[in-house]
């Protein structure tokens, strides 16, 4: 029987060290996916969230893929989609955000809004993903609550609408004022945050003397906020104009249950989605899904390839034969598994909002659509404007075959964009990246996974514009521009800088030279 409980599918976005892993574990703890948070892994074990979650899965037997953590809360199923910390600067993270309906922006109370948080936030804004802001580490000295609200408003341009307000300044976290009910939610520290932290709700008149002073300060600020148009408004939140705010300490499990409640109460559920032709697929129509992440090398024994897809409509049943929209070919999921945790038989079905992992998925690429019944093709996952370019060549010519294969694989996974031209030939593709860290990933994987050392040589380009076949033809031989074809067929005109791009555009006003969405700094 398909599980028809309502879904919430979200991601946590944050700058490294803001507490994403801690919060993830705390959420799973509160959702009773696990019974005890236990010792938080040491930083050294946490190179990547992938291995982190796998360790968690082993230790606690909870449902985790390397792409999503799934747990039950109240009468809902919650999917927390992982945004890998180590490739925060690559397109990978941006693509993952195409699979969620909302995001939680985690802010370190001591540090405020950090560069990576801002970048990821911009991607959410671009994709129209509503954002809930969680001010974390309130148990430690940090900025003032009102100061943080100013930062959110100024730096990200959203009106903060706090749903809870801290009682006690940063470093003296006694609890929160629930701005919707006016109650005091008093927190009690539990040893190392190892169990669900006890909370006690009390009416304002029940607030005890020990808390009276900090309580009245919180009430005063709460009233100020109300006068300042900072109350939650569901419509404005969904329209991406406001961000509800909460205060928490993930480490002590303070505020974590409230975050879960909030996700269920206000975060959007999976919704009907338009295909490229504009026709709308309703969530309860036949099965359809799109691939947002492809990963290989998960299992060192056999180089399997996993495609992670988000179910958009209908019910996925293991074994069903679906149509791969991009080739029109049938794709059998008979031998594919829905990989949720170790217990591969535990998920035989999946519904809208869920993430399925398909093995042996060599035909599937990031952005591909699968469906049953009426044909549908979802818009491609946007690729961002590359700003860093390298030519790549095989470091060891006797390993050229492996080199080719590796580049093809990394291209399909979307690790970098691969560009070619007749002029340059096939041997030395140009690799294009949004952030330079992507090249490090390429180098590492080519060396270790494909055993094909790679040599890079930097190209002096920094700006890419989308053009078309006519543009490619007309720009041949024009000074200061080179046109290369990306593997998805897009023609990219590359320039050393914006000035040069502008000049060529002015000199050739009839040609298509379109800016791509900026993902970089
Ligand atoms: P990340 O995944 O976003 O990179 O952050 P992570 O959870 O690893 O947290 C980074 C550090 O911040 C960790 O400390 C963690 O214990 C701490 N932390 C997370 N949430 C809170 C909080 O609410 N309050 C306080 N005081 N600290 C918090 P670490 O010393 O770097 O690592 P560890 O050795 O404790 O794991």
Residue 43 predicted with pLDDT over 50: no
**Between 361 and 278, the higher pLDDT residue:** 278
Question: What pLDDT was estimated at residue 134?
Answer: 98
Instruction: Specify the pLDDT at position 342.
Output: 40
Alpha-carbon separation of residue 134 from 55, 80, 86, 129, 240 (angstroms): 25, 15, 21, 16, 16
| pLDDT at residue 341 greater than cutoff 50 | no
Among 185-199, 240-254, 278-292, whose mean pLDDT is lowest? Answer: 185-199
Cα(333) to centroid of ligand 1, in Å?
39
Based on the fold, state whether residues 310 and 232 are members of the same structural domain.
no
Contact yes or no for 247/135 (Cβ under 8 A): yes
Query: What pLDDT sits at residue 39?
Result: 30
pLDDT of residue 248: 96
Query: Per-residue confidence at 50, pLDDT binned at 50, 70, 90?
Result: very low
Cβ-contact 363, 324 below 8 angstroms: yes
Instruction: Express the helix, strand and coil content of the chain in percent, nearest 5 each.
Output: 30, 25, 45
Q: Report if residue 470 sits inside a domain.
A: yes
The reply to whether 236 and 296 lie within a common domain is: no
- Distance from residue 259's CA to the centre of ligand 1 (Å): 18
Reported as a pLDDT band with limits 50, 70 and 90, residue 356 is confident
| Pocket-forming residues, ligand 1, beta carbon under 6 Å | 14, 16-22, 40, 42-43, 46, 85, 136-137, 139-140, 249-251
Average pLDDT score over the chain: 85
The CATH number of residue 53's host domain is: 3.40.50.300
Q: What is the pLDDT of residues 72-82, one digit of tens each?
A: 888 898 999 88
Tokens for 232? 């939650």
> Do the strands 463-467 and 454-458 form a parallel or antiparallel pair, or are they unpaired?
unpaired
Q: What percent of the chain has pLDDT over 90?
A: 55
Residue 45 has pLDDT above 50, yes or no: no
Range of lowest pLDDT (24-28, 234-238, 498-502): 24-28
What are the backbone dihedrals phi and psi of residue 394, each rounded to the nearest 5 degrees, phi first?
-70, 125
Helix (H, G, I), strand (E, B) or coil at 183: coil
Q: What is the pLDDT of residue 291?
A: 93
Mutate-to-test residue for ligand 1 from 12, 15, 17, 249, highest number of ligand atoms within 8 A of CB: 17
Return the pLDDT at 38: 33
**Percentage of residues of the chain with pLDDT beyond 70:** 85
Distance 92 CA to ligand 1 centre (A): 23
Tell whether the model's pLDDT for residue 86 goes beyond 80.
Answer: no
Give the pLDDT band of residue 110 (cuts 50, 70, 90).
very high
- Which domain, by its residues, includes 67? 7-266
Q: Does the pLDDT at position 193 exceed 90?
A: no
Measuring from atom 18 of ligand 1, which residue has the nearest CA?
19
Output the pLDDT for position 92. 75
What is the pLDDT at residue 61?
45
- Both 362 and 251 in one domain: the answer is no
Taken in order 99, 326, 485, 451, the sign of the CA dihedral is positive
* Residue 514 pLDDT > 80: yes
Which pLDDT value is given to residue 270?
Answer: 97
* 388 and 333 Cβ atoms separated by less than 8 Å: no
CATH number at residue 327: 2.40.30.10
Kindly state whether residues 71 and 215 are assigned to the same domain.
yes
In a domain, 154, yes or no: yes
Residue 454, pLDDT above cutoff 70: yes
296 within 8 A of 409, measured Cβ to Cβ: yes
For residues 23 and 10, is the Cβ–Cβ distance under 8 A?
no
What are 367's two structure tokens? Answer: 């952005």
Q: Does 206 share its domain with 182? A: yes
Spacing, Cα 79 to ligand 1 middle (Å) = 22
pLDDT of residue 40: 33
Please give the number of the atom of ligand 1 that sits closest to the Cα of 252: 23
Q: Are the C-beta atoms of 411 and 397 separated by less than 8 Å?
A: no
CA distance 271 to 269: 6
Average pLDDT over residues 150-173: 95
Question: Does residue 493 surpass a pLDDT of 70?
Answer: yes
Same domain, yes or no: 424 and 485: yes
Distance from the alpha carbon of residue 15 to the mean position of ligand 1, in angstroms: 12
Question: 119: part of which helix (H) or strand (E)?
Answer: helix 115-127
Average pLDDT over residues 482-491: 93
Q: Which of 62-66, 357-361, 372-376, 483-487 shows the lowest mean pLDDT across its residues?
A: 62-66
Closest of 421, 407, 489 to residue 450, by C-alpha: 407
Q: Of 266, 284, 317, which closes a domain?
A: 266
Task: Average the pLDDT over 184-194 and give the result.
Answer: 76
Higher-pLDDT residue of 324, 28: 324
**Lowest pLDDT segment from 77-91, 360-374, 383-397, 433-447:** 77-91
Mutational test site, ligand 1, from 14, 18, 19, 142, max ligand atoms within 8 Å of CB: 19
Residue whose pair of structure tokens reads 């309130």 in the numeric block: 138
Whether 468 is in a domain gets the answer yes
Integer Cα distance of 28 and 78 in angstroms: 10
Question: How far apart (Å, rounded) are the C-alpha atoms in residues 493 and 483?
Answer: 4
Residues 69, 218 within the same domain = yes
Give the span between the Cα atoms of 445 and 415, in whole angstroms: 10
Q: Helices 20-30 & 49-60, crossing angle to 10 degrees?
A: 30
- Residue 200 Cα to ligand 1 midpoint, Å, equals 25
Is 377 inside any structural domain?
Answer: no
Where does the pLDDT of residue 199 fall: very low under 50, low under 70, confident under 90, or very high at 90 and above? confident
pLDDT of residue 334: 64
Q: What is the mean pLDDT of residues 22-37?
A: 67
**Are 185 and 214 in a shared domain?**
yes
Flag whether pLDDT at 262 surpasses 60.
Answer: yes
pLDDT band (50, 70, 90) for residue 32: low
Determine the Cα angle at 464 with ends 457 and 295, to 5°.
70
Residue 381 covered by a domain: no
Domain annotation covers residue 382 = no
Average pLDDT over residues 374-399: 91
Three-state secondary structure call for residue 26: helix
Asked whether 267 and 132 are in contact (CB, 8 A), the reply is yes
User: What is the per-residue pLDDT for 469?
Assistant: 95
- Give the pair of three-digit tokens for residue 305: 């390839």
Better pLDDT: 432 or 437? 432
Average pLDDT over residues 427-435: 91
Tally of structural domains, the chain: 3
Residues 207 and 126 in one domain: yes
80, burial (CB in 10 Å: exposed 0-12, middle 13-18, buried 19+): buried
Residue with tokens 């990933």: 441
Q: Judge if 86 and 126 occupy the same domain.
A: yes
Domain-terminating residue out of 266, 282, 301: 266
d(CA 434, CA 4): 39
* Mean pLDDT in residue range 278-301: 83
The pLDDT assigned to 94 comes to: 77
- Together in a domain, 364 and 423: no
State the average pLDDT over residues 106-134. Answer: 90
Q: Are residues 119 and 219 in the same domain?
A: yes
Q: Give residue-wise pLDDT tens across range 251-261.
A: 988 999 899 99
pLDDT classification of 377: cutoffs 50, 70, 90: very high
Atom of ligand 1 nearest to the CA of 23: 7
pLDDT for the residue 116 = 81
Please state the rounded mean pLDDT for residues 469-493. 93
User: Which of 266, 298, 332 is where one domain is finished?
Assistant: 266
């Amino acid at each position: 029987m398909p599980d028809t409980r309502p879904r919430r599918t979200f991601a946590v976005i944050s700058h490294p060290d803001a507490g994403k892993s801690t919060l993830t574990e705390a959420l799973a703890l509160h959702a009773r996916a696990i019974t005890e948070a236990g010792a938080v892994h040491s930083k050294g074990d946490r190179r990547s969230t992938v291995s982190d979650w796998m360790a968690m899965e082993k230790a606690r037997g909870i449902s985790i893929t390397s792409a999503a953590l799934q747990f039950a809360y109240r009468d809902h199923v919650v999917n927390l989609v992982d945004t890998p910390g180590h490739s925060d600067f690559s397109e990978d993270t941006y693509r993952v955000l195409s699979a969620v309906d909302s995001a939680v922006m985690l802010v370190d109370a001591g540090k405020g809004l950090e560069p990576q948080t801002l970048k990821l936030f911009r991607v959410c804004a671009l994709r129209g993903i509503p954002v809930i802001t969680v001010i974390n580490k309130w148990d430690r000295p940090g900025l003032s609550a009102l100061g943080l609200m100013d930062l959110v408003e100024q730096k990200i341009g959203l009106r903060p609408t706090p749903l809870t307000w801290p009682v006690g300044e940063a470093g003296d976290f006694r609890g929160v004022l629930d701005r919707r009910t006016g109650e005091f939610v008093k927190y009690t520290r539990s040893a190392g945050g190892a169990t669900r932290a006890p909370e006690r709700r009390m009416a304002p008149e029940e607030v005890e003397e020990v808390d009276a002073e900090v309580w009245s300060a919180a009430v005063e600020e709460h009233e100020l906020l109300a006068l300042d148009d900072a109350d939650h408004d569901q419509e404005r939140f969904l329209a991406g104009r406001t961000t509800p705010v909460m205060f928490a300490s993930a480490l002590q499990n303070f505020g974590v249950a409230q975050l879960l409640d909030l996700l269920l109460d206000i975060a959007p559920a999976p919704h009907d989605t338009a295909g490229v032709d504009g026709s709308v697929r309703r969530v309860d129509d036949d099965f359809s899904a799109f691939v947002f992440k492809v990963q290989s090398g998960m299992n060192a024994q056999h180089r399997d390839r996993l495609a992670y897809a988000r179910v958009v409509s209908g019910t996925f049943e293991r074994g069903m034969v679906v149509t791969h929209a991009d080739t029109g070919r049938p794709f059998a999921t008979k031998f594919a598994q829905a990989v949720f945790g170790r217990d591969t038989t535990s998920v035989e079905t999946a519904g809208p909002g869920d993430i399925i992992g398909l093995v042996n998925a060599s035909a599937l690429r990031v952005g591909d659509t699968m469906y049953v019944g009426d044909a549908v093709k979802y818009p491609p996952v946007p690729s961002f404007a590359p700003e860093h370019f390298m030519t790549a060549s095989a470091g060891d010519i006797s390993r050229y075959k492996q080199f080719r294969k590796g580049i093809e694989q990394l291209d399909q996974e979307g690790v970098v964009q691969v560009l070619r031209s007749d002029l340059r030939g096939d041997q030395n593709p140009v690799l294009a990246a949004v952030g330079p860290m992507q090249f490090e990933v390429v180098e590492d994987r080519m060396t270790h996974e494909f055993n094909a050392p790679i040599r890079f040589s930097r190209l002096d380009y920094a700006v890419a514009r989308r053009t078309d076949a006519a543009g490619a033809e007309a720009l041949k031989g024009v000074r200061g521009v080179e046109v290369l074809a990306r593997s998805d067929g897009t023609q990219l005109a590359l320039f050393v800088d914006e000035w040069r791009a502008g000049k060529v555009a002015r000199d050739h006003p009839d040609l298509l030279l379109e800016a791509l969405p900026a993902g970089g700094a």
